Amino acid sequence: MFSPATTKKAVAPNNLEAYWMPFTANREFKTNPRMLVSAKDMHYITDDGRRVLDGTAGLWCVNAGHTRPKIVEAVQHQIAELDYAPSFQMGHPKAFELAARLATIAPQGLNRVFFTNSGSESVDTALKIALAYHRVREEGQRFRLIGRERGYHGVGFGGISVGGIVSNRKMFGTLLTGTDHIRHTHDIARNAFSRGQPEHGEEFADDFERVLALHDPSTIAALIVEPVAGSAGVLLPPKGYLDKLKSLCDKNGILLIFDEVITGFGRLGAPFAADYFGITPDIMVTAKGITNGVIPMGAVFVKDAIYDAFMQGPKHQIELFHGYTYSGHPVACAAGLATLDVYQEEGLLSRGAELANYWADAIHGLKDCPHVIDTRAVGLIGAIELEPIPGEPTKRAFSAFLAAYEAGILIRTTGDTIALSPPLVISTSQIDELVDKLGIILRAGA
Ligand SMILES: Cc1ncc(COP(=O)(O)O)c(C=O)c1O
């Protein structure tokens, strides 16, 4: 008979060995653990009782701030009432209610919502819908999926195949076939310290024409881009760039997918980046802020015409062979509905617009700190790019991250760029605190 006491080692308290941490320098962490034990509004509390100002909304997801009572209560209530309901051939009211509510805030025409459990699943879902859409319309020759260098689309095989971050791809074999990439838009030489969207680089969209010519446009199903590349260092689209991509897609019958996992739910000061830039994609990928990070969830928004293309054939037949055990999970839906209430009651989907100038001033105010080679800001996202230490890339930013944590602020680094994306409830004095403390760290030569 199985007996944990005899067949397993006793679990020592505070043993850090078993947990293989994601996207983490495990050995460094385990010699210098950084443990968060609770959170409230704009702050985390560490295991040694310190308050840490959250400059990153967790991982770009806690847009309304932490442990908001309305969301907590909704989750508690839902678990006690309906803990789980199958999502295949069955439904529960909150999944329909959430989809309908989401459609009301989505950009015009993106009225159909497919639920997933993460950004990565949302990306793979969007790519699969794009391929299947062409197939049901008898354009199955459109099998290619195009992404962009320095794009981050999660960690599924679809997402890393269209993604353009080398470290996320190089260990994992051949990836999906039939993918290609357009060039990235980062151009510090011409655009360093731009206020808002960079002036130079609309022509980077022409690189899509090169890919179209190389493969024949009629073989391409979709182009996926982040409207603002987040994880690769907060790269803003140059003026005119996204419009050009959109018109090339339209001209060639290619679906445009916006990955709004970071930019969705108010991050830029509008509900979605599509609203902010005035460009509606055919498919929009979301996650993170949809439940304020409380329960894992993602949603893929598609245009009516895409959904309608699948609604044919005998009515008893499944139209799309895709879905997850936890698609539209009742607890996630309850969290999502309460989150939307909080966003709407507090005007959080547009609050970033009110703070954007103050925020941009604060971020650009760090431009004269040592080793800073660029500062960028849009909505409530900011980036400070540092010159790498020769031969030791990422180390300078990582040192700043460690120092920041000691100083009571949570920042995030990607490569040698510091990325900031606080909860949308941040006050101006908290912006000052965040940026002042970071300035002290950078001036100390982190
Ligand atoms: C743009 C983008 N897409 C997809 C993802 C993947 O989301 P997840 O980590 O929930 O799978 C992320 C995560 O940061 C992201 O920023």
Residue 87 pLDDT exceeds 50: yes
In percent, the amount of the chain with pLDDT more than 90 equals: 96
What 8-state DSSP symbol labels residue 55? S
pLDDT bracket for residue 445 (50, 70, 90): confident
What average pLDDT does the chain have?
A: 96
Residue 153 near ligand 1, beta carbon < 6 Å: yes
For residue 392, the CA-to-ligand 1 centroid distance in Å is 27
For 143-155, how does the pLDDT look when each residue is reduced to its tens digit (9 = 90+)?
999 999 999 999 9
Q: What is the C-alpha to C-alpha distance for residues 311 and 239, in angstroms, rounded to an integer?
A: 38
In percent, the amount of the chain with pLDDT more than 70 equals: 97
151-179 average pLDDT score: 97
For 27-36, how does the pLDDT look when each residue is reduced to its tens digit (9 = 90+)?
999 999 999 9
Contacts of 188 (CB under 8 A, 6+ apart): 373, 374, 385
Residue 281 pLDDT exceeds 60: yes
Half-sphere exposure of residue 78: CA atoms within 13 angstroms, side-chain side: 23
pLDDT at 174: 96
For residue 264, the CA-to-ligand 1 centroid distance in Å is 11
For 284-295, how does the pLDDT look when each residue is reduced to its tens digit (9 = 90+)?
999 999 999 999
187-196 average pLDDT score: 95
377-399 average pLDDT score: 97
CA dihedral angle for residue 312, residue 117, residue 416, residue 364, rounded to 10 degrees: 80
Residue 161 near ligand 1, beta carbon < 6 Å: no
Q: Which of 378, 377, 193, 205 is nearest to 276 (CA)?
A: 378
Amino acid symbol at 255: L
CA distances from 35 to 39, 47, 48, 294, 441 (A): 12, 6, 8, 18, 21
For residue 253, the CA-to-ligand 1 centroid distance in Å is 27
Residue 5 pLDDT exceeds 60: no
Work out which ligand 1 atom sits closest to the CA atom of 262.
Answer: 16
The pTM assigned to this predicted structure is 0.97
318-345 average pLDDT score: 98
For 240-255, how does the pLDDT look when each residue is reduced to its tens digit (9 = 90+)?
999 999 999 999 999 9
pLDDT at 17: 94
Residue nearest to ligand 1 atom 3, measured at CA: 153
Q: Is 57 helix (H, G, I), strand (E, B) or coil?
A: helix
Q: What is the C-alpha to C-alpha distance for residues 238 and 302, in angstroms, rounded to an integer?
A: 26
Number of H helices, E strands in the chain: 17, 15
Residue nearest to ligand 1 atom 15, measured at CA: 261
Polymer length in residues for the chain: 446
Q: What is the C-alpha to C-alpha distance for residues 259 and 229, in angstroms, rounded to an integer?
A: 9
For residue 121, the CA-to-ligand 1 centroid distance in Å is 9
For residue 151, the CA-to-ligand 1 centroid distance in Å is 10
pLDDT bracket for residue 283 (50, 70, 90): very high
pLDDT bracket for residue 1 (50, 70, 90): very low
For residue 76, the CA-to-ligand 1 centroid distance in Å is 26
Amino acid symbol at 61: C
380-404 average pLDDT score: 97
Burial-class residue 37 by CB neighbours within 10 Å (0-12, 13-18, 19+).
exposed
Q: Which of 228, 340, 222 is nearest to 273 (CA)?
A: 228
Q: Ligand 1, from 120, 127, 421: best to mutate by most atoms within 8 Å of Cβ? A: 120
Whether 348 contacts 266, CB under 8 Å: yes
> Could you tell me if residue 233 is left (phi over 0), alpha (psi between -120 and 50 degrees) or otherwise beta?
left
Contacts of 400 (CB under 8 A, 6+ apart): 386, 411, 413, 418, 438, 441, 442, 446
For 198-255, how does the pLDDT look when each residue is reduced to its tens digit (9 = 90+)?
999 999 999 999 999 999 999 999 999 999 999 999 999 999 999 999 999 999 999 9
pLDDT at 14: 75
For residue 1, the CA-to-ligand 1 centroid distance in Å is 43
Q: Is 265 helix (H, G, I), strand (E, B) or coil?
A: coil
Q: Ligand 1, from 152, 225, 263, 283: best to mutate by most atoms within 8 Å of Cβ? A: 152
Q: What is the C-alpha to C-alpha distance for residues 60 and 24, in angstroms, rounded to an integer?
A: 17
Work out which ligand 1 atom sits closest to the CA atom of 120.
Answer: 11
Q: Which of 407, 422, 431, 432 is nearest to 446 (CA)?
A: 407
